[in-house]
Structure 1
């Protein structure tokens, strides 16, 4: 795994998600969650800067649950690395929203067909944020 930005919180979140994802492959969800106390879940979530509910939802979604977000940003000419570096909390919140999205199939199809730029506002939970990012020339992909 290559980190483009030295960010201990991001690295911690990725490690936790990776650990949980590997665990879910060999154990059922109930067993994994039962192995952690509420205090442990709260502490992990606090370390990551998210709520325990968000952490559990992210773990359940898996480590690739927000993979569509950078692709959507590219489709909209937004430089994901710049956003991540300059607006870490916004980027993290967008990842959480993407990870919990119920429109993955539509998003993937529109990205693959090259029409996401025209249709994302209809289904993307990050549409408002993405549109706000699009008007900032400092966050666009350099041509």
Structure 2
């Protein structure tokens, strides 16, 4: 497999997400991060293309903190895989925004009820970006 310049960052983020998703039997992600020095945390965050503050917030939010984002994208006829492939940094930034959202309960409820498309502008931190993506035919779900 030939790596492109963006692949190392993608690989690092995938490894961290995989690490979170798999979990660890005797320790939590917060414990692991706490065991690192400030310099190591900053280096890890830099490798992921985020700030140390964002990394700490993401670890605190947990491994499923941005699960609503792909569901919201699909509800808006946006293909999450296409966005991730074509716009990796944007996708990551949207994940960070979603992970730190305070409107999760409303979002989940509206997604379940099938009314997220009509209401997401009222509460979604990614609303403007999602609307811009809706105007891009390259990332829409094909009918």
| SS of aligned partner of 1:98 | helix
* Structure 2 counterpart of 1:83: 83
Q: Does 1:99 align with 2:121?
A: no
Q: Give 1:50 deviation, angstroms.
A: 0.7
**Is the 2:29–2:59 Cα contact (8 Å) retained in structure 1?**
no
**Cα distance between partner residues in 1 of 2:51 and 2:29:** 19
C-alpha contact (below 8 Å) 2:58/2:99 kept by paired residues: yes
Assess if the C-alpha contact under 8 Å between 1:17 and 1:62 holds in 2. no
Paired residue total: 137
| Partner Cα separation in structure 1 for residue 9 and residue 71 of structure 2 | 23
The gaps in structure 1 that reach 5 residues or longer are: 1-5
Cα root mean square deviation, aligned? 2.0
Taking the aligned partners of 1:15 and 1:95, their CA distance within structure 2 comes to: 15
Partner of 1:131: 131
In the alignment, the residues of structure 1 paired with residue 59 and residue 34 of structure 2 have an alpha-carbon distance, to the nearest angstrom, of 14
CA distance in 2, matches of 1:85, 1:32: 30
Aligned to 1:61: 61
The CA distance in 2 between the partners of 1:73 and 1:47, in whole Å, is: 26
- TM-score where L is the length of structure 1: 0.86
8 Å CA contact 1:58–1:96 kept in 2: the answer is yes
Give the TM-score taking structure 2 as reference length.
Answer: 0.86
Matched with 2:142 is 142
Q: Distance in 2 between matches of 1:28 and 1:105?
A: 24
> For the Cα contact (< 8 Å) 1:17–1:59, is it kept in 2?
no
Distance 1:20 1:82, change over 3 A: closer
Q: Any unmatched runs of 5+ in structure 2?
A: 1-5
